[in-house]
Chains A and B, each alone.
Chain A
Amino acid sequence: MATKLDVSTPAARSAPALSNEEILRYSRHLIMPEVGMEGQLKLKQAKVLCIGTGGLGAPLGLYLAAAGVGRLGLVDFDKVDLTNLQRQILFSNDDVGHPKIEAAASRLHGLNPDIQIDRHETRLTSENALDLFREYDIVVDGTDNFPTRYLVNDACILLGKPNVYGSIFRFEGQVSVFGYEGGPCYRCLYPEPPPPGLVPSCAEGGVLGVLPGIVGALQAAEAIKLILGKGEPLVGRLLLFDALAMRFRELKLRKNPDCPVCGNHPTVKGLIDYAEFCGMRGEEAPASQAGVPEITPREVKSRLDRGDDLFILDVREPHEYQICNLSGYLIPLGDLPSRLSELDSSREIIAHCRSGKRSAEATAFLQKAGFRKVLNLKGGILAWSDEVDPTVPKY
């Protein structure tokens, strides 16, 4: 499937020339032979769609706008949250509570008023993706979840658009370019997503604020190279970055001849239900939480006030205990199997974590291990802060 970009054809030369002000703005590009006037005009004619304006989308948007990409589409439906500001550098304090798309568009317009910014304030779905992507030359994937990643991949392959991929976890990132000139796609790399709950989420795992900055900047570099038609694109290669070790590694990525989307005999010929594909239908709450006996923070509080003997078991990690705690006894979920002897099965145990997810697992585990009187604190410390004691910080 050939996906040579339109912008790399001589048609770029027939584009209107740059204004004197633009020549000055882009002078550091223009004096490099790899970009020059021809390359800068290609950038001006290019149409790039950024999926997400968050951690990855911020450096992407900023560098693509600064570089003079003529038309920049932004897709996001979220609102700016205080926890975003640790890494999402498109937003400022005043933007908290406002739609990301508005804050992002106004920041990028302020950076470069000469470019067109398309605001798509919508959730990307199987119904709208093809129409949305059709308008653009390149799609840059700055999303944060598996269903959208597979959706972006499949839509790009179906339309023959290159997909500049970046993904992050804690202090590790992955970057590649999929679906470019017959190269491999995301499904060649990972045919299927992990089932929900098996891989810890970033909300539990955290992410180093600067990491999406680095990975998003790498994606921006790849997008710009594709537009210019210069250099060696990151096709058929998976770049791994570890910020803690400060090390880059590169792995070979092959096209899978049996790939259901881009292989020799594709079976996926249209967009599917990606929530279902990722096993997430009707699973707003993780499956492990269902059926575990629970108690609300208010009930725990009133029982403690009554003087009931409750053993508060905190199954978070020690560094989380330092942020805030309910004076519970700390045994991280992962250590529970080897530290069961520290618990007294004759006492009533209230297991808790940050949100109630890990402690649900702990409750289920303790029940299996023969503990009869175990309850999961519903909603964890977050709910405790909301319902009982607002002085406990939420994180």
Chain B
Amino acid sequence: MSVKVIIPTPLRAYAGKQDSVELQAATVGEALTTLTTRFQDLKRHLYADDGRLRSFVNVYVNDEDIRYLQKDATPLKQGDTVSIVPSIAGGRGLHGNQA
């Protein structure tokens, strides 16, 4: 299944500066594994040490949150869009002062 994964701005630096990646996958888990194999730096930003998706990173298939579908096992159809949407703080970032 050919699907498009949309990479959010804060993570583009770890994905070859691309805003989206086309890849073959049958499930969301497979798509993310393929993505993090291709871009190894992305892995620690998406997954915690215990191998679970980080709680400030949401993944959607089209407009549905995979937490309310079948999570990693959510099946993908040809042409689906997988969006990675991390939380962003705005203004000046994490520490509330100039880094």
A interacts with B: yes
Name A residues whose Cβ lies closer than 8 Å to a Cβ of B.
Answer: 52, 54-56, 142-149, 166-172, 174, 189-194, 196-205, 207, 212, 238, 240, 242, 244-245, 249-254, 280, 284, 286, 334, 355, 357
From B9, B64, B96, A170 is in contact (CB under 8 Å) with B9
Contacting pair A251 B14 (CB below 8 A): no
Question: Which residues of chain B are near A286, meaning CB under 8 Å?
Answer: 99
**Are A172 and B88 in contact, CB atoms less than 8 angstroms apart?**
yes
- List 5 A-B pairs, minimum CB-CB distance, nearest first: A144-B91, A201-B93, A145-B96, A169-B88, A192-B55
Tier of interface size on chain B: 20 to 34
1/0 per residue B78-91: CB within 8 Å of A?
00000101111111
> Given A193-B87, A238-B85, A251-B63, A202–B93 Cβ distance below 8 Å?
yes
Q: With the chains together, A341 CA to B39 CA distance in Å?
A: 21
Q: Label chain B's interface by main secondary structure.
A: loop
CB of B75 within 8 A of chain A? no
A194 touches B41 (CB 8 A): no
Report the Cα distance A357→B72, complex, angstroms: 35
A-B contact pairs, 8 of them (CB 8 A): A143-B91, A145-B95, A167-B88, A169-B90, A193-B56, A197-B94, A200-B10, A355-B98
- Interchain CB contact under 8 A, B95 and A201: yes
Complexed CA–CA distance, A145 and B89 (Å): 5
Q: Which of B63, B86, B96 contacts A252 (CB 8 A)?
A: B63
B95 A196 Cβ-Cβ under 8 A: yes
Contact: A144 with B96, CB < 8 Å?
yes
Contact between chains at B19 and A245 (CB < 8 Å): yes
Q: Is the CB of A253 within 8 A of B96?
A: no
* CB atoms of B96 and A254 under 8 A apart: no
Contact residues in B for A249 (Cβ distance below 8 Å): 63, 83
Tell me whether A191 and B55 are in contact in the complex, defined as CB-CB below 8 angstroms, given that A199-B10, A203-B99, A251-B83 are known contacts: yes
- Inter-chain pairs besides A201-B94, A251-B60, A334-B41, 5 sampled, C-beta below 8 Å: A172-B88, A201-B95, A203-B92, A242-B9, A357-B99
Chain B contacts with A in 38-74, Cβ cutoff 8 A: 41, 44-45, 54-56, 58, 60, 63-65, 68
